Structure formats: structure tokens, C-alpha cells
A = this chain, B = another copy of it.
Amino acid sequence: MTYTVPERIRQLYDQVSDFVEDRIIPQEKLLLDETSPESESIRAQLMNEAKEEGLWALGHPESMGGGGLSWLDYAYINEVIGRSDPAMNILGTYSVQTCVMIDAVADEWQRENVLLPAVRGEHHVAFAVTEPGAASSDPTNITTTAYLDGDEWVVDGRKWYTSGATTSEWLCVMCRTEGEDVPRHHRFSMILVPSEAEGFHVERDIFVMGTHSNHPECSYRDVRVPKGYLLGKRGGGFELFQTRLAPARLTNCMRWIGQAQRAFDLMCNRINTRELRDGALLATKQLMQFYVYQSYTEIQAARLMVLDAAEKMDQGSQGRVEISAAKTYAANMLQSVLDRAIQVHGALGVCDDTPLERMYRFARIYRIVDGPDEVHIERVGKEILKIYRDGGRWGFSER
């Protein structure tokens, strides 16, 4: 791990960086406008360019047709992708955590028909775990059920915050399939449901932080799918879910740092150019210098933790402490960096003439998804305390 972009990926880093800055960001507002008719064709055009230039799915394993970057190298690249929300789709990286999960257990048919088209961006696979009313910090609370009826699974239940459900061809649905006789963590299975299946309904879009979110609430009523749509083995749903979690958290963090860095860039430029009443620049104000100092140190700290966690993942560690700490610290960092960037922009900062207010609204969600702050704080504390209890020490040198 090094703190500057390693030489081995320097060229790739610059390519991706140019692509995001020069081709995506100038079109960003259009790309984010779901009501715009051009939006879809521009996105498709840029996706093609990304594929042609070898910038597609860089973080996916090579075995499934991805770029095969290590987690550490991907951290540098993904930070740049994170600078603009549409880049995640255009460069084909958004599906990495789900693809890694499917890859771990998919049979041949699932691989050909679900996984590989997802890697290539030909269709989407939504991930349906969270339910209204159940504390999602523990997925063993979920109540959606499935049972085998002959050669078919029959799925019943209700999920919400199923990101991308309205535009997905497939849903990975976590269902309770086993009874009380089985240990708690082995009662759940992951079942693939095609979105065109009868009995599947998108009930409502959830209006999240002022925006139609495409994180809808969906119902499953007697949805029947072939027996072979079980992903992995019966009772293996929870374990599979865990497989997806670490990459999901880590790749999100990488992008958040990119967003924070972009907000920091905007903030510094605003401070350097905004005139006060007497013609002096904002830059002459000590509180502005303080905001720069605070934001810089917070961004650097988050970067370190993410790079460190990525390196641990590459080394085969679960990195529980590192990923939980990085996720929590980075989400909070993003919120506070954006808060300052908005403050410095004044009335301009709270309206959509800059990307800041949208990033700020969505940043609030990140402290809740993939485990709320409190769950991660508790985990980090408990894991470190356990190390000391076992006679170890947490720091450079574990004696």
C-alpha cells in the first residue's frame, strides 16, 4: 500500500480520471435527470466507449470478464469513479459486490444466464433483503418465506429498499426456507426471481431524501420459480449475504472518498473566487482556512483506512475491524465535508446549480445502509477489546 497512486496503475488511473472528468461530468446533470429522453442514449453511448477503451468493470474478477484489479488497486481507481454518480453505471462497476456473491455459488446455468450478462451490463440483478418493520441490522429477522412445492419454490413476502428493482431483470431474494429445528443462521436461502414472474409487484417507489429513489417497496405473492433458481444451497442465504457485504461496504467507501474530494475541490475553488462585501476574497477568512484544514485531514484519514482495509482483503483477511471502521468513518467524513462545502457556497450550495446538495442528501443515507454507524462502532469496539482480552494489542506491532 502506498499513499500515492502506484506506478503499476498510473496510466489506467489517468485514463479513468480523464473519462470521468471530460466525458461524464459535463453530461452529469442530464444523466441524472430521469425525465430526460436523451439521458438513456447518452448513457448507452458512454458505456460503449468505456467498453471499447478497456475501462469496463475494472474491479470485477478476470474469471468473469472483469478488469481483475486487486482490491487495493481498485481503491485508487474507484475513488475517481466515485466523483460522479453516473460513472458507476457507465463504467460497469456498480454490480461488483452482487457478481462476486453469485460467482461464489452459481451453477453453470446461473453463471451463463444471470452472472455473465450482469457483468457485461446487459441486465441488472437487484438484491432484496431489507424488509419494512424488521431491524435490518440483523438479517435473521426477515419474514419473507419460500417453500418447495414440487419442482417450484413459492415465495411470499414484502421487501423494501430493493435498489434498482424497477429496472432489473432479476432479483436475489433472501427468504426463510427452513424451520425452527435448524440453527438461526441456517434458516435462510437466496432465491433468484425474474422480475416478470407472476405475483411480483413493485408496490411503490420510496421517496428518499427528496428524490424518487428507485429503492422501491416490492411484494411477492405466491411467486413461483423453478427449483433450480435457488442460489447456492438451502440454508446458505445468510452466509452468501455475508460474502457480498465486505465488498459492498468497501467499494462504497472508495466512491465516497471520490465524492468528498470533488466537494473539496469545489469548496477550495469557491473560497478562492468568492468576493465579500469589501472585495476581499473568502480565502482571507480564517474560518475558511479552518474548513480546508478539517476537510483535508478527514479525507486523508478516510483514505488511509480504506486503503488499509483493501490491502487486508487482498491478503485474505476478513478485515472486520478495518472495514467497519472505514465504512463508518468514511460515511461521516463525507457528510461533514459536504456540509462545509455547502456552507461555503451559501444559497448556491443548497440548490441544484451545483452537485453538492444532491451528494449531501444521499450522504445521509450512507450512515444507515450496510449497517448503521452504531452497529459498526459496537463491532469495532468489541473486536478490538477482544484482541486485548486475548493478550494482544491493536496497533503497528502485535506483540
Interfacial chain B residues near A276, Cβ < 8 Å: 135, 137-138
Inter-subunit contact B384/A296 (CB<8 Å): yes
Q: Produce 1/0 per residue, A343-377, CB < 8 A to B.
A: 10011111111000110110011011100111011
Inter-subunit contact B261/A293 (CB<8 Å): no
Inter-subunit contact B265/A388 (CB<8 Å): yes
Nearest-CB distance from A100 to chain B (Å)? 24
Nearest-CB distance from A190 to chain B (Å)? 20
Distance between Cα atoms of A211 and B213 in the complex (Å): 14
Which residue of chain B lies nearest to A213 when distances are taken between CB atoms in the complex? B351
Inter-subunit contact B293/A385 (CB<8 Å): no
Inter-subunit contact B277/A141 (CB<8 Å): yes
Nearest-CB distance from A54 to chain B (Å)? 19
- A289 on interface, CB distance cutoff 8 Å: yes
Inter-subunit contact A289/B382 (CB<8 Å): yes
Nearest-CB distance from A312 to chain B (Å)? 10
Interface size class of A (residues with CB under 8 A): 35 or more
Distance between Cα atoms of A73 and B13 in the complex (Å): 29
- A206 on interface, CB distance cutoff 8 Å: yes
Nearest-CB distance from A210 to chain B (Å)? 2
| A329, A353, A397 pick with most chain B CB within 10 angstroms | A397
User: Which of A44-52, A115-123, A225-233, A297-305 sits within the interface?
Assistant: A297-305
Say yes or no: A377-B287 contact (C-beta < 8 A), given A141-B277, A300-B301, A368-B343. Answer: yes
Nearest-CB distance from A182 to chain B (Å)? 17
Nearest-CB distance from A275 to chain B (Å)? 7
Interfacial chain B residues near A296, Cβ < 8 Å: 321, 325, 380, 384, 394
Nearest-CB distance from A105 to chain B (Å)? 25
Inter-subunit contact A292/B351 (CB<8 Å): no
A window 118-151: CB within 8 A of B: 130, 132, 135-138, 140-141
Interfacial chain B residues near A209, Cβ < 8 Å: 210, 350-351, 357, 361
Distance between Cα atoms of A115 and B60 in the complex (Å): 58
- A104 on interface, CB distance cutoff 8 Å: no
Inter-subunit contact B206/A380 (CB<8 Å): no
A window 84-120: CB within 8 A of B: none
Inter-subunit contact B350/A265 (CB<8 Å): no
Distance between Cα atoms of A135 and B384 in the complex (Å): 23
A window 378-396: CB within 8 A of B: 378, 380-382, 384-385, 388-389, 393-396
Nearest-CB distance from A80 to chain B (Å)? 8
Interfacial chain B residues near A358, Cβ < 8 Å: 210
Residues of A within 8 A of B (CB): 1-5, 13-14, 17, 21, 76, 79-80, 130, 132, 135-138, 140-141, 160-161, 206-211, 213, 261, 264-265, 268-269, 271-272, 274-277, 283, 285-293, 296-297, 299-301, 303-305, 307-308, 311, 321, 325, 328-329, 339, 342-343, 346-353, 357-358, 360-361, 364-365, 367-369, 372-374, 376-378, 380-382, 384-385, 388-389, 393-397, 399
